[in-house]
Amino acid sequence: MTDPREVAVIGLGNMGNPMAGRLIAAGHAVHGYDVGVEALARFQAQGGFGHPDAVAAAATADVVILLLPDSTVVHDVVSRLRAAGLPRPGSTVIDMGSSEPMQTRLVAEALAGDGVRFIDAPVSGGVSGAEAGTLTVMAGGPDELVARFTPLLSRLGAVIHVGPLGAGHAVKALNNLISATHLWMTSEAVTIGEQFGIAPETTLRVLNGSSGRSGSSEAKWPKFILTGRYDSGFAARLMLKDAKIAARLADELGMPTDLGEQVVQLWAKAVEGLPAQADHTEIARWIQERANTVAPKAGGLA
C-alpha cells in the first residue's frame, strides 16, 4: 500500500510532537491538534498544519493517530469525531497512546460499525526514541491491516506485530509494570548500598555487569538520576497509570499478580507524595529522601 498522504495526529505532547515531526519529515501532510497552545505552536513550527479542534484536524485525513492520556480521553475524542461523521469510512484510526486493552476493543467495535478500521500501536523508547525514530511500536490488530500500515509506523521505529486488537496496549502496560518494578528495586538497592557506604556509581557498575542489570540501571539511573536531571519526559503518574492497567488486565483475566499489585500500591504512595507533573525517575529521589529520614541502625557484633 502507498503511504497515506493525509495524516492527523491528535495529541502533541512530549511524544506526539517528535513523532509528528518524523512523519512531516517523511513527506506526509500532517494535521494536528492539542489542547496545549504551546504544543500546537511547536508542531506548526515543524511544518505541521495546526487546527482548533480534533474534528478539524481529522477532516481530510486518511489515517488518524491518537496520542492521548488514557481510554477515557480516547472515548471522548472518538465520540466527538463520530458525531461529526468522522473519521471517514475507509480510513483508519491508530491509537498509539497507553489505553486499556478491553476498552480498546470497544472503541474498535464502534468504529467498525462506521466502516472505519482500527489498530492499537503504543510505543516504548521515550522522547529520545521518538526524536530519533528508534521507538518500539507494539501493534495489535489483524495481520493484513498491521502489514498495510507497517511502512508508516516504521518511520517512528521498529514495528512488532504482537497479536490481535488490544494486544499492543496489553503488552505496553505489562512492559511498564516491569519497568516500574525495575526502577523501584534498583533505586532501593542503590540507596541501601549508599547507606552502607557504597557509592551509587559503584553499585550501578556492579549491577550493569551482573544479572541485576535492567534499563533502569543501564539508562535511567546514569542519565536522569545521577545527573539530577529527572527529565526523561515520562511522568510518574503515567507510569502508575500503565502499571494499574496491567494489574487490572490480570484481574479481568482471572489471573493473580501478587507482585504487580504491590508495585502499584508502592507507586501510588510515592506519586501521592510527588508534585503532580513529576517525572517518573523522581521515584528514586523520593525513595532516597524517605531513607534519609530514618536514622541508620548501629552495626557491629553484639
Indicate which residues carry an active-site annotation: 172
Q: How many helices (H) and strands (E) does the chain have?
A: 13, 9
- Alpha-carbon radius of gyration of the chain: 21
Buried b / exposed e over 6-45, threshold 16 CB at 10 Å, is bbbbbbbbbbbbbbbbbbbebebbbbbbbeeeebbebbee
CA distance 150 to 1: 10
Instruction: Tell me the pairing of strands 135-140 and 123-124.
Output: antiparallel
Instruction: Tell me the pairing of strands 6-10 and 29-33.
Output: parallel
What are the grid coordinates assigned to 301, written together? 557484633
Classified as helix, coil or strand, 222 is: helix
Nearest to 156 by CA among 117, 120, 124: 124
156 neighbors 137 (Cβ within 8 angstroms): yes
DSSP 8-state secondary structure symbol assigned to residue 226: T
CA distance 157 to 176: 18
CA distance 266 to 106: 31
